[in-house]
Amino acid sequence: MIDKQHLINRFISYVTVDTESDPESNTTPSTAKQWDLANALVEELKQIGLEDVTIDENAYIMATLPSNVDHEVPVIGFVSHFDTTPDFTGANVQPQIIENYDGGDILLKGVDGLALSPKDFDDLLLYKGNTLITTDGTTLLGADDKAGIAEIISAMEYLVNHPEIKHGKIRVGFTPDEEIGRGAHKFDVKKFGADWAYTMDGSQIGELEYENFNAAGAVVTIKGKIVHPGYAKGKMVNSMYIATQFIDSLPRTETPETTEDREGFYHLHHMNGEVDGTKLQYIIRDHDKKKFELRKELMLKLAKDMNLELGSERISVEIKDQYFNMREKIEPVMHIVDIAEEAMKKAGIVPLIKPIRGGTDGSQLSFMGLPCPNIFAGGHNFHGRFEYVPVESMLKAIEVIVNIAQITAKRP
């Protein structure tokens, strides 16, 4: 369908541009360097022949592939994000290309002795014989979600070059700052004008998701008291000891490394402390809305109880909701999931319909009036040095996009 080397070149041209987002920034996009790729994508969309290509003051990109049928067809959209996570560096990405993967260890040449191994990541064995793109061990890869962008643009290019394939109007949208929970915040759903859309932002080939976590972020601030340690008795209050007690008081078996499927968790992802003050940053996740609310209540109650025990207001907790489970918005329009499932089967893919243990722009967009299930983009081990993507999975994702366009055009 799409020339394999052309796809590889396109993907690498994206991942070698640093687009790391910044949760501490108040601008949109949160980092100026996201504009570098955003502006390049605008020019590429124009070059392949899309129409109405726009980029707004916040770097949200939209474009149109006009319908080539003479009957009324729903307008569908495909969405991906171009930022990468601030959890691990995406600067100076040096991709490795592994042809005809043999099922063994892959040396990540940027770090002595480091290997991407099926002993640690058994999903690698699904891709024996494939071409894999990996990191060199010093950075993440950026397949989340530059694989999705490469797939959408490649699919649109294919449809432009093959007008015999019938489709309705298709809208394309690329967003900044998804990795810090803001990807849909300034997305203009009305301007986008689609009846529904799909985010190409999943992982393993075949993934099709219309459930995700309810999500919140929590900042726990602990105030201590610093005095000279030689004269500290009865005076010093070490905030780091209080922080340790707070951390240990949350359920230790309800963390990311101990949960799976629909099980929720508390995740301490950043900690910064001194005697005089400590800050803990958590994310709170649960698929079940009632359990999600209980998790937030537990953190607030823990702070209240510890303050009573300490005899002063030393702990404060600020919780902000980030996104909610899109299932309630997708179930009334399940035909859009059925279309994606049919498109996968047509491509010879076994659909893996399961909840997302994470979030996607699609969850927020669904609550904004744009129902938006999530489809695989092919990458694995996102947000770290062991990230990789099979090129054949990306090629299949392109085929799924084209199939969705065809199927939608044939439906009444």
Active site members: 83, 178
Q: How far apart, in whole angstroms, are the C-alpha atoms of residue 396 and residue 393? A: 5
Q: How far apart, in whole angstroms, are the C-alpha atoms of residue 297 and residue 353? A: 31
Q: How far apart, in whole angstroms, are the C-alpha atoms of residue 17 and residue 142? A: 9
Q: How far apart, in whole angstroms, are the C-alpha atoms of residue 241 and residue 222? A: 10
**Stretch (H or E) spanning 301:** helix 289-310
Which among 36, 63, 80 has a CA at the least distance from the CA of 184? 80
Residue 219's φ and ψ, nearest 5 degrees, are -115, 120
Strand pairing class (388-390; 96-98): unpaired
**What token pair was written down for 241?**
């000891």
State the residue for tokens 């040449």.
109
Decide: 212 and 326 in contact? Cβ < 8 Å: yes
Tell me, letter by letter, the H, E, C secondary structure of 31-67: CCCHHHHHHHHHHHHHHCCCEEEEECCCCCEEEEECC
Q: How far apart, in whole angstroms, are the C-alpha atoms of residue 91 and residue 110? A: 13
Which among 146, 95, 147, 77 has a CA at the least distance from the CA of 397? 147
Q: How far apart, in whole angstroms, are the C-alpha atoms of residue 2 and residue 314? A: 60
